[in-house]
């Protein structure tokens, strides 16, 4: 980092904690305080309001943070371009991925990308689609991979890979041997769903609405915060659930879960890569080209 003081400010402003910033930057807390004081002296104004153990940004601090985010993005681009010029792709990539993508889609891509680009430092933030979008808008990540699409005007959504949400149940469930069930049977059978804010729930709700079915028409037993939680719950219950086909490959091979087709209902979707509108950084673009090529080879 060419300007370490700016990096110190940026880290404190994002964490709103001198202690957390010091630990993240591997420096002492007095050193962090000194850098902030020097910046405040340079600009002739306070950048943080300090109240006991809590801090918040002043108007000047918020202004500096907006410019710092732009400068930090430029630094990342500069680092990538300099390494690329030497034929040594490197730098730092801050990824965010919604739950299904983080657990089932991206791990093989990350492993193979790391083999090819060992000098790239990658961090991965996990959350639901809404949380990943908010992280992008806060400039906490450079690139997101999500399973929903909320059409936020400041975000550019690019299709990444196709997925299908399938209805699953335990192998010994009464519906497991059926070739197909009706929409009325779907509504009558206890079902597990993801939580609000989940991209999967958004897609399921949209598909059911197309068949004249509201979520309230379903016999919802519980809403859980992860697909792994849903799969675990299914192993102890007589429920059914819609999950990504990516999430149940092992269970289908082992025969512990079965897919149940629903009459007149197929739920296809796209996973999306997301970046801020007007932003194009070398390393995120390089990573996405690699990721798309990975799944193109798989298909």
Residue pLDDT, tens place only, 79-95: 767 766 666 556 788 99
The tens digit of pLDDT for each residue in 61-120 reads 999 998 988 888 777 777 767 766 666 556 788 999 998 899 999 999 999 888 877 778
Give the per-residue SS3 of the chain. Answer: CCCHHHHHHHHHHHHCCHHHHHHHHCCCHHHHHHHHHHHHHHHCCCCEEEECCEEEECHHHHHHHHHHHHHHHHHHHHHHHHHHHCCCCCEEEEEEEEHHHHHHHCHHHHHHHHHHCCCEEEEEEEECHHHHHHHHHCCCCCEEEECCCCCCCCEEEEEEEEEEEEEEEECCCCCCCCCEECHHHHHHCEEEEECCCCHHHHHHHHHHHCCCCCHHHCEEEEEECCHHHHHHHHCCCCCEEEEEHHHHHHHHHHCCEEECEECCECEEEEEEEEEECCCCCHHHHHHHHHHHHHHHHHC
Backbone angles phi, psi at 50, to 5 degrees: -110, 120
CATH number of 164-269: 3.40.190.290
What backbone phi and psi angles, to 5 degrees, belong to 162? -85, 150
Q: Above pLDDT 70, what percent of the chain?
A: 93
Query: What pLDDT is recorded for position 135?
Result: 93
**Fold match, 1-66 / 164-269:** no
pLDDT band at 295 (very low <50, low <70, confident <90, very high): confident
- What residues does each domain of the chain span? 1-66, 164-269
Q: In whole numbers, what is the pLDDT of the chain averaged over residues?
A: 89
Q: Domain 1-66, what fold?
A: Arc Repressor Mutant, subunit A (1.10.10)
Give the pLDDT confidence of 127-149 residue by residue, as tens digits: 988 899 999 998 899 999 998 76
């Amino acid at each position: 980092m060419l300007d370490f003081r700016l990096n110190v400010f940026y880290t404190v402003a994002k964490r709103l904690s001198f202690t957390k910033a010091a630990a993240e930057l591997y420096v002492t807390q007095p050193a962090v305080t000194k850098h902030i004081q020097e910046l405040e002296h340079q600009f002739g104004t306070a950048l943080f309001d300090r109240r006991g153990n809590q801090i918040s940004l002043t108007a000047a601090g918020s202004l500096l943070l907006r410019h710092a985010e732009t400068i930090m993005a430029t630094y990342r681009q500069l680092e990538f371009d300099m390494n690329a010029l030497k034929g040594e792709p490197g730098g730092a990539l801050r990824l965010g991925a919604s739950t299904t993508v983080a657990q089932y889609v991206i791990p093989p891509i990350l492993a193979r990308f790391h083999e090819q680009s060992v000098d790239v430092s990658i961090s991965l933030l996990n959350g639901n689609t809404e949380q990943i979008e908010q992280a992008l808008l806060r400039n906490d990540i450079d690139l997101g991979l999500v399973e929903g699409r909320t059409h936020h005007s400041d975000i550019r959504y690019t299709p990444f890979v196709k997925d299908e949400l399938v209805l699953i149940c335990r192998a010994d469930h009464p519906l497991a041997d059926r070739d197909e069930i009706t929409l009325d049977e779907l509504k009558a059978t206890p079902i597990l769903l993801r939580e609000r804010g989940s991209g999967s729930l958004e897609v399921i709700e949209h598909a059911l609405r197309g068949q004249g079915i509201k979520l309230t028409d379903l016999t919802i037993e519980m809403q859980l915060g992860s697909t792994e939680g849903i799969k675990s719950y299914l192993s102890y219950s007589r429920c059914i659930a819609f999950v990504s086909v990516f999430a149940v490959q092992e269970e289908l091979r082992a025969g512990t879960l079965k897919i149940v087709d629903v009459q007149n209902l197929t739920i296809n979707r796209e996973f999306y890569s997301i970046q801020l509108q007007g932003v194009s950084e070398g390393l995120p673009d390089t990573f996405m080209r690699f990721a798309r090529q990975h799944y193109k080879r798989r298909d």
